[in-house]
Amino acid sequence: MKVEVIENYSILLKEVFNSILFETKEGEKIAVCMRDGGFEIGIKDPLVKSENKEEYSWYRIIYGNIQPLSVSNSSKE
């Protein structure tokens, strides 16, 4: 992973192939990673509980298009 600070003091991450997780104090989570020229984003609903693991809804974003991913095609955090 490469990290840069750009002109408005935003953080720019490059080559992020392992998920980066974001979590609100209310427990909402998203996971973001890069894949083959695009991105995968996992969204966790804090109200949905499953046995012994967190379930994310995964989406692929490439060339401005967002497509849902099946569990077998998505990356895991």
- The 10s digit of each residue's pLDDT in 12-38 is 998 888 999 999 998 889 999 998 889
Q: How far is CA 21 from CA 16, 30, 35, 48, in A?
A: 12, 6, 16, 18
> In whole angstroms, how far apart are CA 71 and each of 4, 28, 47, 50, 56?
32, 20, 19, 15, 9
Beta-ladder partners of 45: none
* Predicted local distance difference test score (pLDDT) of residue 52: 60
Could you tell me the pTM of the whole model? 0.71
pLDDT in tens, 32-75: 999 888 999 999 877 777 666 778 889 999 999 999 987 544 44
